[in-house]
């Protein structure tokens, strides 16, 4: 029994000590934590209003056409290039009746074998169709691309369609030659001007084009003709012509017709000779070097960078390097890590990169003040060290097409709320609190 009393006495002592603990006030309290703190940056989407992005004009542009001989039609091409901005030009080169080339048919005499009849299209003035020109303007597109030295078309395919009586195409009898000329100054030869030279051609039906140039062309060019060439080397020259002309010659050789076939040939020659160039202009490009694509309005146009707050001001609202006022300075002093969240909403299909700086970039020393580089699409975090948060701290952003990268310019969205290129920023700071009170 005495043992049980001792046990109860021990329990009583423990209970009294437990109840006494909340009444104890320590002399010091130590707090350790690492909270993440969001730092608002005002209205970062307003950066869109500062973007001087002329390649957006290219996505909205429509090349002007100027006929020099041939009849032209321009269509918004929504066929094989999908949502990539593209145009297609139909350029008629020839639409010529051939029946006048048929010589008088001699009467068939009893017992007399009539020799084969030779039809010489040259003697009737029909062939060759030579030194004829048709062209179109490139000034609007090239004027925009001229701002981006090093940007080149990936491909400008051109297809030559021809049709006419079957009899004139036998054994490679019809040939075509096409040469590119500077439409502004024909005396200046273009590099790679000989696009086709004496190429034998075969008939091919034209694709179906819309009834009006106001309607987009949605079909494909399949099957494509066997005769084609690419204009990219001409348009990618250092000084491409503002207007491109084609000088062409279509030559129909002599054909020999048996007398018994003359009636059928006479009917066949009622089909005119038609020739058409179909030029596709997809906005697909390659960057042959790093190309800056932004510039700051109302600032140094050579800098080609945009920033969140006025140059010389501090992103965190500090007015001097030793500004001790406000919670921001306290956070920075305790900062364990700071991350700038950069979101680039890229609805133009651009490819490249964006350097992020903590202060105005120096063109002569691109690594100075550099925080990091991100792609031109998506959300990326750029870490900032405590040393890089020194006053004044700003966020400067440059944008570049990356050397060796290819990309397609997308056609503008029909939704007015979709911004072609949008940049937004946010910052989170992770602090370390280790205080004794």
Beta strands of 149-257 (E only): which ranges?
151-153, 157-163, 174-182, 189-200, 228-230, 243-252, 255-257
| 127 & 255 share domain | yes
Where does the pLDDT of residue 39 fall: very low under 50, low under 70, confident under 90, or very high at 90 and above? low
| 121 & 181 share domain | yes
Phi, psi (deg, nearest 5) at residue 47: -60, -30
User: Which of residues 336 and 294 earns the better pLDDT score?
Assistant: 294
User: In this model, does residue 6 exceed pLDDT 50?
Assistant: no
CB under 8 Å to 424, separation ≥6 — which residues? 44, 45, 47, 342, 343, 345
Token pair for 223 = 């099957």
- CATH number of the domain that residue 49 is part of: 2.60.120
User: In this model, does residue 329 exceed pLDDT 70?
Assistant: no
pLDDT at 298: 46
**Would residue 415 count as lying in a domain?**
yes
Token pair for 218 = 């949605």
**Would residue 12 count as lying in a domain?**
no
User: Which of residues 428 and 262 earns the better pLDDT score?
Assistant: 262
**Would residue 383 count as lying in a domain?**
yes
Number of domains in the chain: 2
Q: Domain range holding 398?
A: 32-53+293-436
Closest C-alpha to 155, from 286, 44, 254, 245: 286
- Which helix (H) or strand (E) is 423 found in, with range? strand 421-431
Considering just the CA atoms, what is the radius of gyration of the chain in Å?
38
| 124 & 204 share domain | yes
Report the alpha-carbon distance of residue 62 to residue 281 in Å, rounded.
11
| 318 & 238 share domain | no
| 77 & 97 share domain | yes
Residue with tokens 């009294």: 16
| 132 & 155 share domain | yes
Please work out, in degrees rounded to the nearest 5, the angle formed at the alpha carbon of residue 348 by the alpha carbons of 90 and 237: 55
| 369 & 349 share domain | yes
User: In this model, does residue 210 exceed pLDDT 70?
Assistant: yes
Most confident region among 9-18, 48-57, 114-123, 327-336 by mean pLDDT? 114-123
Closest C-alpha to 393, from 331, 304, 301: 331
Name the domain boundary from 287, 317, 333: 287
Name the domain boundary from 265, 287, 309: 287
| 173 & 282 share domain | yes
**Would residue 43 count as lying in a domain?**
yes
Report the alpha-carbon distance of residue 164 to residue 95 in Å, rounded.
9
pLDDT at 301: 58
Instruction: Give percent above pLDDT 70 in the chain.
Output: 77
**Would residue 11 count as lying in a domain?**
no
Where does the pLDDT of residue 46 fall: very low under 50, low under 70, confident under 90, or very high at 90 and above? very low
Average pLDDT over residues 129-142: 77
| 163 & 218 share domain | yes
Report the alpha-carbon distance of residue 216 to residue 381 in Å, rounded.
41
User: In this model, does residue 21 exceed pLDDT 60?
Assistant: no
**Would residue 334 count as lying in a domain?**
yes
Residue with tokens 């099957």: 223
Mean pLDDT, the chain, whole residue set: 77
């Amino acid at each position: 029994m005495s043992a049980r009393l001792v046990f109860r006495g021990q329990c009583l002592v423990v209970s009294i000590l437990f109840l006494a603990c909340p009444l104890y006030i320590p002399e010091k309290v130590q707090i350790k934590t690492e909270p993440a703190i969001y730092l608002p940056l005002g209205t970062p989407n307003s950066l869109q209003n500062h973007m001087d992005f002329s390649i957006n004009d290219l996505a909205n542009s429509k090349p002007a056409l100027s006929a020099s001989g041939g009849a032209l039609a321009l269509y918004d091409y929504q066929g094989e290039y999908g949502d990539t901005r593209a145009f297609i030009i139909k350029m008629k080169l020839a639409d010529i009746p051939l029946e006048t080339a048929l010589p008088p048919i001699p009467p068939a005499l009893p017992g007399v074998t009539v020799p084969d009849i030779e039809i010489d299209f040259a003697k009737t003035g029909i062939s060759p169709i030579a030194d004829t020109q048709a062209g179109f303007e490139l000034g609007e597109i090239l004027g925009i691309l001229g701002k981006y030295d090093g940007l080149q078309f990936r491909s400008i395919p051109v297809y030559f369609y021809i049709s006419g009586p079957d009899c004139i195409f036998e054994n490679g009898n019809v040939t075509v030659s096409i040469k590119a000329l500077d439409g502004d100054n024909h005396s200046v030869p273009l590099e790679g001007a000989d696009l086709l030279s004496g190429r034998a051609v075969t008939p091919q039906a034209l694709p179906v084009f819309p009834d009006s140039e106001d309607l987009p062309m949605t079909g494909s060019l399949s099957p494509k003709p066997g005769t084609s060439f690419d204009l990219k080397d001409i348009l990618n020259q250092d000084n491409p012509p503002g207007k491109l002309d084609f000088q062409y010659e279509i030559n129909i050789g002599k054909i020999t017709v048996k007398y018994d076939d003359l009636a059928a040939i006479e009917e066949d020659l009622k089909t005119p000779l038609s020739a058409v160039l179909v030029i596709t202009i997809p906005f697909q490009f390659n960057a042959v070097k790093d190309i800056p694509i932004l510039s700051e309005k109302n600032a140094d146009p050579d800098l080609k960078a945009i920033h969140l707050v006025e140059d010389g001001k501090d992103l965190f609202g500090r007015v001097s390097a030793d500004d001790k006022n406000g919670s921001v300075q306290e956070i920075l002093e305790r900062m364990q890590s700071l991350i700038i969240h950069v979101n680039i909403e890229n609805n133009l299909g651009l490819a490249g990169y964006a350097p992020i700086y903590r202060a105005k970039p120096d063109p002569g020393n691109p690594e100075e003040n550099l925080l990091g580089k991100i792609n031109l699409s998506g959300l990326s975090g750029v870490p900032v060290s405590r040393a890089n948060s020194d006053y004044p701290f700003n966020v400067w952003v440059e944008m570049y097409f990356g050397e060796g990268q290819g990309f397609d310019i997308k056609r503008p969205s029909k939704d007015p709320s979709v911004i072609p290129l949008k940049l937004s920023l946010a910052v989170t700071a992770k602090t370390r609190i280790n205080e004794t009170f």
